[in-house]
Chain A
């Protein structure tokens, strides 16, 4: 188990976080660049020292300001894979993987056995005598993982391990990485800013904003109850906070139609029957349920419509067949529509447009 409660000041920037992780968990840390993700990894690795707090792994205090304890990186049971892998350029693949075992004073025969096993596990055994500069990005990543995992660390730190790979490699390696992480018993902390990686690899997800953990929880927590505009935007959903102002009878599945006052006007949605009397709700609207039209949609119970200026249009995924259209307002509304729709509407940025969606397509959480 890993228990972290640390604070660190770096000039203007302040980091202050605490969280616990159970054995075998993969925590995916998401956040914008400069939010403190990499600093967190460096603190855990012992490459930087926190100003205050404690870091404890499996009951062993790695850092404790009060007890003046700071275990140096080379005595921590960690594995660290930096952003562009940092394979030692003067060593072959096998020598890179053997580096940690040699430094720890492991015998030659044992070292060779473990290096081979590790390279085989990661499917790069044929690269033993190659030098890093001759490897592809994906191969480098596997070797870097082998170099870290061969030491059987209790905590594995991965700093945006996909960012140096091209899109296709990323997609094919994600599943593979999931398998590798599942098969190693260590706690993994995985830093990224790709939503797909977060949702696919994270048993738990933590959002970091400006040096603080703003949300930590399961995949479902994040999709159903994003707790900040950043998280919602990161996951690609629209997020609105509001207050129930009207309830209209019960529908079939224990839900009732409610009218919610939000910053973007009143929105109809179906909410679970709730006896607690709570009226503050969080609405999430997936971008692909939002329709666009030039004319105001026909009014009616259960139809939500709002007008706004188009401020951005971008293909999603990059060079894909769908477009993400961002509509101005507080907060902005994002619609994901087919390219043909945009073409048929003759839509350009700066123009006014109507966005609409059905009440039963709004996720409502009390």
Chain B
């Protein structure tokens, strides 16, 4: 009796979630034929947005990796006063509404902003430029990378670090030659997640960088713009984005190192040998 009730609840939950999560995807996919998709993909608005999206998201991801690795190392291996606070701050962009992030960026780097005033005195203006798009993406994508790498580095057993240090290796050498290579799957997974997040970034970008075709209009912004005038091209763009995101996530799961993101158990088994 109880097991019947349980099965009923689970079935209802699955059905509701399927409708909410999967139906929109299906609706988008059945709306366009491959031929129509190809037609829209060659529209200037789409081509420009696609180019800009790739450019900015790749630059943002590289920046996330370069800046994120040292911070992740610090958080994973050192204890210091206020560490909890730093961890919360680093995670904050995950839960923050992106528009709030955009307003914050505007107040920091805008013409009258804290850092913006100094920059504009030097003749540099960031808002509503391609650089602003990258910064907005960096802001929202960094936490995913750091979380993945911190977890990955913490999984590396301390005994490797200990024994490496007794083998004439300085902490920097230990990090480069032992910790980072062993945690590489997590680093790659974190980078891919960040890239996907940067690619899909909308709220912070439109607030901080605006919606200028060819300069700040990335794919998600183009979808939004197209929706105002031409539903079909919006749908085509949306399908394109779905295919992209799907490819990234599938790559994560099925790549040789893909288990790092979904399968901790595989790592654990590997360790026990």
Residue numbers of A with Cβ under 8 A of B are: 42, 45-47, 72-76, 78-80, 82, 84, 86, 88-90, 99-100, 102-104, 132-133, 147-148, 151, 157
Complex interface residues of chain B between 176 and 192 (CB less than 8 A to chain A): 177-178, 181-182, 184
Given contacts A82-B159, A88-B160, A89-B182, contact A73 B166 (CB under 8 A): yes
Say yes or no: A80 contacts B177, CB within 8 Å: no
Query: Can you name 17 A-B pairs with beta carbons within 8 Å?
Result: A47-B162, A72-B165, A74-B166, A76-B166, A80-B162, A80-B166, A82-B159, A86-B157, A88-B164, A99-B164, A100-B169, A102-B177, A103-B169, A103-B173, A148-B167, A151-B167, A151-B168
A103 to B165 Cα, complex, angstroms: 10
Additional 19 contacts, C-beta under 8 A, given A99-B164, A103-B173, A151-B167: A45-B162, A45-B166, A74-B165, A74-B166, A75-B168, A76-B166, A78-B166, A79-B166, A80-B163, A88-B164, A88-B178, A89-B182, A90-B181, A90-B182, A99-B167, A99-B169, A99-B177, A103-B164, A103-B168
Q: Which residue of B lies closest to A95 (CB)?
A: B177
B260 to chain A, nearest CB (A): 14
Partner of B165, one of A47, A90, A132: A47
Chain A residues with CB under 8 A of B178:
88
A248 to B49 Cα, complex, angstroms: 109
Say yes or no: A82 contacts B162, CB within 8 Å: yes
Verify if B2 is at the interface (C-beta below 8 Å from A).
Answer: no
Q: Which residue of A lies closest to B156 (CB)?
A: A89
A78 to B167 Cα, complex, angstroms: 8
Say yes or no: A74 contacts B168, CB within 8 Å: yes
Q: Number of contacts between A and B (CB, 8 Å)? A: 69
A107 to chain B, nearest CB (A): 15
Say yes or no: A86 contacts B168, CB within 8 Å: no
Give me the 8 closest cross-chain CB pairs, A-B, nearest first.
Answer: A100-B167, A80-B166, A103-B169, A73-B165, A104-B168, A86-B159, A103-B168, A86-B163
A74 to chain B, nearest CB (A): 5
Chain B residues with CB under 8 A of A88:
160, 164, 178, 182
B176 to chain A, nearest CB (A): 10
Q: Which residue of B lies closest to A133 (CB)?
A: B273
A302 to B270 Cα, complex, angstroms: 62
A73 to chain B, nearest CB (A): 4
Say yes or no: B167 contacts A82, CB within 8 Å: no
Chain A residues with CB under 8 A of B184:
90
A353 to chain B, nearest CB (A): 44
Chain B residues with CB under 8 A of A90:
181-182, 184
A292 to B9 Cα, complex, angstroms: 69
A75 to B165 Cα, complex, angstroms: 9
Say yes or no: B167 contacts A103, CB within 8 Å: yes
Say yes or no: B159 contacts A147, CB within 8 Å: no
A147 to B163 Cα, complex, angstroms: 10
A73 to B182 Cα, complex, angstroms: 21
Q: Which residue of B lies closest to A81 (CB)?
A: B163
A76 to B162 Cα, complex, angstroms: 13
Say yes or no: A103 contacts B166, CB within 8 Å: no
A149 to chain B, nearest CB (A): 11
Chain B residues with CB under 8 A of A103:
164, 167-170, 173, 177
- Per-position 1/0 for B211-253, Cβ under 8 A of A: 0000000000000000000000000000000000000000000
Chain B residues with CB under 8 A of A147:
167
- Per-position 1/0 for B77-107, Cβ under 8 A of A: 0000000000000000000000000000000
Chain B residues with CB under 8 A of A73:
162, 165-166
Chain B residues with CB under 8 A of A78:
166
Say yes or no: A74 contacts B169, CB within 8 Å: yes
B259 to chain A, nearest CB (A): 15
Say yes or no: A47 contacts B181, CB within 8 Å: no
Q: Which residue of B lies closest to A153 (CB)?
A: B166
Chain A residues with CB under 8 A of B166:
45-47, 73-74, 76, 78-80, 148, 157
B218 to chain A, nearest CB (A): 37
